[in-house]
Structure 1
Amino acid sequence: MAGVPVELTPEEYEAVTQRPGMCIVDFWAPWCEPCHAFAPVFTEAAARFSDITFARLDAEAHEAVSEPLGIDSYPTLVAFKDGLEVHRVSEALSAEALDRLLGALRAVDVAEEKRRHANRERTEAGQRPSGVPEGATWDDGDKEWSFGPKDVTGRPHGTWRYWRADGTLCNECIMKQGTPHGPFKRFHEDGAVSQEGAFEKGQLHGPRTWLASEHFTTERMHEGGVSERVRKTVMHYEHGTVRQVLHFNGKGQRVVPSTGEPYPTRPAHLPEDAELREDLNQWARVTLNADAERHGLTRFWDLQGQLLWEAEFANGLRHGRYWSRAENVYADFRVHFEEGRAEGNLACGEWSLLDAQRAVVLTRDLGRAMDERTLARSPVFSNLARGAEGWRELAREARADRRYREALLATARACATSLDVQPLKAGLEELTLPRKKDSASELADDVVEEAGQEWAPMADALMRGADAATLLRAYAVLLDQTDRPRAALDFLHAAMLLAPERKEYLFTRGLILLNLGVADQVRKDAQGLAAAEPDTAAFLDTYARVLFPRFDFWAGQEPPRCTYDGLPEKPEQTLEAIQQLVRKYATRLQAMRGALLQRFKPGAAVSWLPPDLSSLLGKGPVELKQYELELEDEQVEVDETLDVEMGLADLTLMLRGDWSALSWLLWSCGETAFRMPTRIAPPADYGQAAGQASQRLWQSRDRKFRGDASTTKPGQGFLFEGVALGDLHPNLVSIAERQYAETQAMFYWLNDPDHVSPWQSNLRGS
């Protein structure tokens, strides 16, 4: 029906798209949100373009149609004219962009498109297409034919031309001894100019102009959020560096690039080179160095031309004087402006807060700037324990040297150790700029989001008055991620002392305690968090059980089950090979157990530690090897070795995988405890166990990669530490996947005598 999109079936697809006239097909998927947002735009366009057939096809339901066409993102629009595909685009278009595309579709010359298609086929066959001169050569990297004169050394010299695979001219430029030098032009497929400008000794210099086309073109212009309304763009270059970018509509009026709306009038008192930053709705004057980094004085104004801030930059970093408006930023209502200095983007030295008449309200010395490398090496981030007085002494030393950032961080550790937060509050009040509560929170949140993996920016924000509890918590996370959990716990406790009402900090503490192996306290924190954040509390509790399970004989505690066919009946490896593998698993597990013990004080009671398996080793640990071999014309790597220098959580997860594999290996021989098997007596449901490992691995990966689209729905699936697979947090699904990958690899080895080790690379990933 004209004016209404047709819902296609595979049987109708060819008939509809191959009929005479114009047709456009929207390939979509049910789960695709942009597809649903685009659907009404597509439907409304069908009413406006009644001479064009509009059709939609559920690409996921009808993969037999979409896959051969290479449709792998949604929505994808494919345009046909007289049965020939003439264009495709993979994005949800605006109504304006769709109208422009459909207008271009009307202008397509089918005979010319067929000629270009034939030329592309000739290029693919290594043959020169029509329209390209004899002697032209194909560059597979640039995907272009090229031809032109050369100098006596064989370098391009003179006017060179370039053609697309379809035979259309795309570029001509002047070369001088192998380097672009002089004017150049690029062309749309219809022959109209798409770009023009000039090179000077290989560098763009002067204006470079882009011109849009009303026809289909492969020339780039409307990228990076530039509106279809922009019909001309002019970039002004100075020896390869962009100095200014101007955008114009079809009438030659300057416009805002993202919307195509008229460019606002620049306030008369602003310098002529001040440009609109439409992402900020501000005017800016920025000078750059040769690497396009801010260098020199940078100034920003609001739309009315009121100066917002100015700063001196050196090679991309704030360095020198800084001034900014600061109404409603600081606790003292009189403050309207702030000014100070910066070194390497970090505030330092004397900063002043000024009132509306530029009189000083408050002055603070923010001390010495401590760059990333210097601060990262500070003993304040050491994982070694100190008493409260030791941290206070470090704070006094730092303060005497005007290292106020370090002094405050050391004071935080002292307060966490003594459980007395008053010295920290006093230090913050005395040394930092006094912001309003909402301003302090906003600054802290911004710096954590942008630089939460760096040491210096967060300390700098602390001095500028950002919320200290937020920053100390962020330091705790960073320290925990860099395997300094004791230091992390100090910073987190300082944050909790400053903001005891923030129950969500219990979650952060729980993660740190997990890295310290303090499982019982983690469960208590989960209980304390349950009322405020039940989902987070449940994750924390389950994660604790996953990391620190009861290490007993896991295999056979419940009857194994799977739905696969063709399951093995018994192990195919020899008893001698199985016994040697038991020793290797025991060697690895003992090494991991020893590495875990070293993380605790001698004699400490660690309730969750796996039991000693030295009884399986007889004469002691066996050699773990790393080597390559060739199996059935395939190069296979074997790596039985392990590196125990990792975080406690990662170490326990590796231990978990080996523990599961060893349990099931012994069970497969008829054992029900950790003892060396003396015979192979597999249980009757041996095949079910082998299949279960593979099926649970597949289910875990399906849940991990497909999420809510997985075949395992909430409340369904096997239980993992008491939680159904469908209810597991994605991070915990990854842990289940890891465990069953190890167990599957062991069964793969056990069921094939040609395999030499479960740690073969070809047994890892299927």
Structure 2
Amino acid sequence: MAGVPVELTPEDFEAVTQKPGMCVVDFWTSWCEPCHAFAPVFAEAATRFADITFARLDAETHESVAEPLGIDTYPTLVAYKDGLEVHRVSEALPADALDRMLTALRAVDVAEQKRRAENRERTEAGQPPPGIPEDATWDDGDGEWSSGPKDAKGLPHGTWRYWRADGTLCNECIMEHGRPHGPFKRFHEDGSVSQEGAFEQGQLHGPRTWIASESFTTERMHEGGVNARVRKTVMHYEHGAVRHVQHFNGQGQRVVPSTGEPYPTRPAHLPEDAELREDLNQWTKVTLNADGERHGLTRFWDVQGQLLWEAEFEDGRRHGRYWSRAEKTYADFRVHFEEGRAEGDLACGEWSLMDAQRAVVLKRDLGQAQDERTLARSMVFSNLARSAEGWRELAKVARAERRYREALLATARACATSLDVQPLKDGLEELTLPRTQDSAREVADDVVQGAGRSWAPMADALMRGGEAATILRAYAVLLDQTDRPRAALDFLHAAMLLAPERKANLFTRGLILLNLGVADQVRKDAEGLSSVEPDTAAFLATYARALFPRFDFWAGQEPPRCAYDGLPEKPAQSLEAIQQMVRRYATRLQAMRGALLQRFKPGASVSWLPPDLSGLLGDGPVELKQYELAGDDDDLVEVDETLDLEMGLADLTLMLRGDWSALSWLLWSCGETSFRMPTRVAPPADYGQAAGQASQRLWQSRDRKFRGNASTTKPGQGFLFEGVPLGDLHPNLVSIAERQYAETQAMFYWLNDPDHVSPWQSNLRGS
């Protein structure tokens, strides 16, 4: 029916698309939201273009049609004329862009399209199409033929031309000893100009103009959110640096690039080169360096032309004077403006807060601008413990040298150590800019979200009045992630002293305490969270059990079972090989146990440490090796039995957990029920079930990890991991289960195949 899209099937697809005339097919899927949004746009266009056949195909239901056509994104529109595909686009087009595409379809010359297709076949065969010089060379990277004169050194010199694979001219420029120099033009497939401009010694200089085409073209213009109604764009360069950009519609009227609407009238008092920032609805005047970074004075005005802020920049960073409006930003309601200096994006020196008449309400010295490298190496982030007096002394020295950032951070650690928060509150009041609560939270949240893994920006936000409790907590997280849990705990305790009502800090403290091995306190923090954040509390408690389990003989505590067929009946390795492997596991576990014990003070009681396994070693630890061997198809397989004992405590305990599980099941497989060296291989009757269970649980863990709620294990289902069904585990905890069963499976793979030499072969970690 004319004016109504046809629903295609594999049976009628070819008949509809190959008949004479014009046809456009919308390939869609039921789960694709843009497809559903585009459907009415497509249907409405069908009523306006009665001479074109509109059709739709459910690409998922009819994969046999879509896949051979290379349709893998949705929606995809494919245009046909007289049975020949002439254009495709993989996006949901707005109505005006769709109309423009359909209008271009009417103008397509099928004979020309066939000629271009033949030329592409010649290019694929390595032969220049007709019209391209025989000496032209093909560049796979650019996808173009090129030809032109060269200088004595063989460098392009003179007028060079470039052609697409289909034989159409795409570029013409003047080269001077290998670099573009002089005017250039690019062309659409129909021969009309798509770009023109000029180079000066290899750099774009002057206006560079893009001109849209009404025909189908591979030349790109409407990228980066530029509306299809933009028909010309002029970008002004100064020796490679973009100075400003202008967009025009088909009538030559300047327009806003994202909408194609008429460009607003610039307030008369603004500079002529001030441009509208659409995303902010603000006017701006920005100068850039050759790398496109802000350099020099930058100014922003609101849409009415009122100056909002201005700052001096140096190679992309604020450096020099800064001025801004600041109504409702500071605790003193009289403040309307702020003014100060910055170095490398960091506030420093004297800052002034001024009233509506520009009279100074408050002046504050923000001290030195301490950059990322300086702060990252500061003693205030040391993991070594100090007394409160020691931290106060460090703060005193830093303050005398105007290193106020370090002074405040050292004071925070002193307060955490002494549990007296008043000196920190006093320091913040004396040294930082006094913002309103809302503004302080906004500054803190912004820096944590944008630069929460950097030392200097967060300290800078603290000086500018960002909420201290939020920033100190962020420092605690960063320190914990960089294996400085003692320092992290100090900063978190300072944050908790400033904001004792925030229960979320208990969760952060729990994670830090886990990295310190203080399992009992973690359990208490989980209990404190349970009434307000039960899910978070459950995660913390389960994580604690996963890191610090009860290290007894895990194997055989529950009857092993799995759903796999073809399971082995007994181990394939010899008793001697098994005994050697038991010694390797015991050597690794003893090394990890010793490394963990060294992290505590001599004589400290660490209740969760695994038992001493030296009884399995006889003459002492064995050598742990790292080497390569030939695998299947001559691929190299890496064997690495060595240990990295410098990793964080949590990572070390998780590695220990995997080895503990593997050793338990290795001994169980010989008939043992405790950690003693086996003297015979007497596997239990359900040995095969145990081997299969390791692989099945690893598969289930990986399925849950990567597919989440779409996995085959639903909430409340699956094997128990530390008392929690796999289907209820948080993704981070699923990763721990995955790691444990990967090690256990690798051990069984080795145990069941005499050709394997070690459980630590790199090819034994698959699912």
On whether the aligned pair clears a TM of 0.5, the verdict is yes
Residue matched to 1:138: 138
Number of equivalences: 766
Tell me the CA shift for residue 480 of structure 1.
0.5
Q: Which residue number corresponds to residue 640 of structure 1?
A: 641
Match of 2:569 in 1: 569
1:103 is matched with which residue?
Answer: 103
Structure 2 CA distance, aligned partners of 1:713 and 1:45? 44
After TM superposition, the score normalised by the length of structure 1 is 0.95
Residue 47 of structure 1: how far off its partner (Å): 4.5
How do 1:578-727 and structure 2 match up within 5 A?
578-632=578-632, 633-727=634-728
Distance in 1 of aligned mates of 2:515 and 2:96: 54
| 1:382 Cα offset (Å) | 0.9
Q: For the residues of structure 1 that align with 2:297 and 2:507, how far apart are their CA atoms? A: 44
- One-letter amino acid of the structure 2 residue matched with residue 728 of structure 1: L
How many percent identity over aligned positions? 87
Stretches of structure 1 that go unaligned for 5 or more consecutive residues are none
Report SS of the residue matched to 1:77: strand
- Tell which deviates more after alignment, 726-735 or 331-340: 726-735
Q: What's the offset of the Cα at 1:629?
A: 1.6
- Identify the residue that residue 262 of structure 1 maps to in structure 2: 262
SS of aligned partner of 1:570:
coil
1:199 aligned partner: 199
Equivalent position amino acid for 2:123 in 1: T
Q: How far off is 1:409 after superposition?
A: 1.0
**Whole-Å Cα distance in 1 between the matches of residues 692 and 54 of structure 2?**
48
Cα deviation for residue 532 of structure 1 reads 2.4
2: CA distance, partners of 1:456 / 1:432: 15
Equivalent-residue separation in structure 2 for 1:418 and 1:425 (angstroms): 14
Q: 1:23 to 1:641 in 2, by over 3 A?
A: farther
The TM-score normalised by the length of structure 2 is: 0.95
Alignment-derived partner of residue 508 in structure 2:
508
Give the secondary-structure state (helix, strand or coil) at the position aligned to 2:434. coil
RMSD: 2.1
Deviation at 1:701, TM superposition (A): 2.2
Match of 1:122 in 2: 122
Shift in alpha-carbon separation, 1:102–1:560, aligned structure 2, 3 A: farther
Q: 1:624 aligns to what SS in structure 2? A: coil
Match of 1:331, SS? coil
Distance in 1, matches of 2:70 and 2:265, equals 47
- Give the Cα separation in 2 of the matches to 1:686 and 1:2: 70
**Aligned partners of 2:668, 2:5: CA distance in 1, in Å?**
61
The 1:456/1:245 distance shift into structure 2, 3 A limit, reads: same
| Other structure's SS at 2:750 match | helix
Q: Would the alpha carbon gap of residues 49 and 252 (structure 1) be closer, same or farther in structure 2, given more than 3 Å must change?
A: same
Distance (Å, rounded) in 2 between the aligned partners of 1:728 and 1:34 = 33
Q: Distance in 2 between matches of 1:223 and 1:4?
A: 31
CA distance in 2, matches of 1:29, 1:674: 57
Counterparts of 1:47-66 in structure 2, within 5 Å, are 47-66=47-66
Residue type at the aligned position of 2:708: G
Shift of residue 726, structure 1, vs aligned partner: 2.4
Shift of 1:740: 2.0
The aligned amino acid for 1:141 is G
CA-CA distance at 1:483 after TM superposition = 0.5
Residue aligned with 1:363, SS: strand
2:328–2:336: 8 Å Cα contact kept in structure 1?
yes
Deviation of 1:607 (Å): 2.2
Deviation at 1:237, TM superposition (A): 1.0
**In structure 1, how many angstroms separate the alpha carbons of the residues matched to 2:348 and 2:337?**
17
Distance 2:641 2:650 in 1: 20
Cα 1:11/1:514, change in 2 over 3 Å: farther
Deviation digits for residues 501-523 of structure 1 (CA, Å, limit 9, x no counterpart): 21111111111111111122222
1:375 and 2:392 aligned: no
Shift in Å, 1:680? 2.0
Residues 433 and 718 (structure 1), Cα distance of their counterparts in 2 relative to 1, 3 Å cut:
same
Within the alignment, does 1:463 sit opposite 2:440 as a pair?
no
String of CA shifts for 1:48-73, please: whole Å, max 9, x gaps.
44544444445445544444444443
Residue 159 of structure 2 aligns to a residue in which SS? strand
CA shift digits 1:32-58 (9 cap, x unpaired):
444444444444444544544444445
Decide whether aligned partners of structure 1 residues 317 and 621 sit closer, same or farther in structure 2, where only a CA change above 3 A counts. Answer: same
Aligned to 1:76: 76
Give distance in 2, aligned partners of 1:570 and 1:10. Answer: 53
Distance in 2 separating the partners of 1:542 and 1:220: 53
C-alpha distance in 2, partners of 1:682/1:670?
A: 5
CA deviation vs aligned residue, 1:695-742 (integer Å, no higher than 9, x gap): 222222222222233233322333222222222222222222222222
In the TM superposition, residue 363 of structure 1 has moved relative to its aligned partner by: 1.1
| Bigger mean CA offset, 549-558 vs 232-241 | 549-558
Most deviating of 263-272 and 715-724: 715-724
Q: Secondary structure at the match of 1:740?
A: helix
> Residues 60 and 727 from structure 1, CA distance in 2 versus in 1: closer, same or farther, beyond 3 angstroms?
farther
- With 108-117 and 659-668 compared, the bigger mean Cα shift is at 108-117
CA distance 1:19–1:528, change in 2 (3 Å): farther
Distance 2:138 2:415 in 1: 71
Distance 1:631 1:29 in 2: 43
In the alignment, the residues of structure 2 paired with residue 302 and residue 359 of structure 1 have an alpha-carbon distance, to the nearest angstrom, of: 23
Equivalents in 2 of 1:375, 1:741: separation in Å?
40
Alpha carbons of structure 1 residues 26 and 220: separation in structure 2 relative to 1, 3 Å: same
Deviations 1:230-272 (Å, cap 9, x if unpaired)? 1111111111111111111111111111121111111111111
1:617 & 1:323 partners in 2: Cα distance? 71
Deviations 1:576-612 (A, max 9, x none): 2222122111111111111111111122222222222
Specify the code of the residue in structure 2 equivalent to 1:548: F
For 1:351 and 1:249, locate their aligned partners in 2 and report how far apart those are by CA, in whole Å: 46
Q: How does 1:463-482 map to 2 (within 5 A)?
A: 463-482=463-482
Deviation, structure 1 residue 335:
0.5
Please give the residue correspondences for 1:345-384 in structure 2 after superposition, counting only pairs within 5 Å: 345-384=345-384
Alpha-carbon shift at residue 533 of structure 1 (Å): 2.2
Describe the SS at the equivalent of 1:128. coil
Distance in 2, matches of 1:82 and 1:713, equals: 52
Which amino acid in the other structure matches residue 379 of structure 1? M
1:755, CA displacement in angstroms?
1.6
Cα distance in structure 2, aligned partners of 1:307 and 1:31 = 47
1:316 positional shift: 2.0
The residue matched to 1:628 in structure 2 has which SS?
A: strand
Q: Distance in 1 between matches of 2:177 and 2:235?
A: 26
Counterparts in 2 of 1:7 and 1:271: CA distance versus 1, 3 Å: same
Partner in structure 1 of residue 757 of structure 2? 756
Distance 1:162 1:270 in 2: 43
* Inter-CA distance 241–147: structure 2 relative to 1 (3 Å threshold): same
Structure 2 contact 583–622 (Cα < 8 Å) conserved: yes
Bigger shift: residues 531-540 or 40-49: 40-49
What's the offset of the Cα at 1:490? 0.8
Aligned residue for 2:420? 420
User: How far is 1:557 from its partner?
Assistant: 2.4
2:546 aligned with 1:546: yes
- Partners in 2 of 1:93 and 1:40 — Cα distance? 11
In 2, the alpha carbon distance for the partners of 1:93 and 1:759 equals 53
Aligned to 1:294: 294
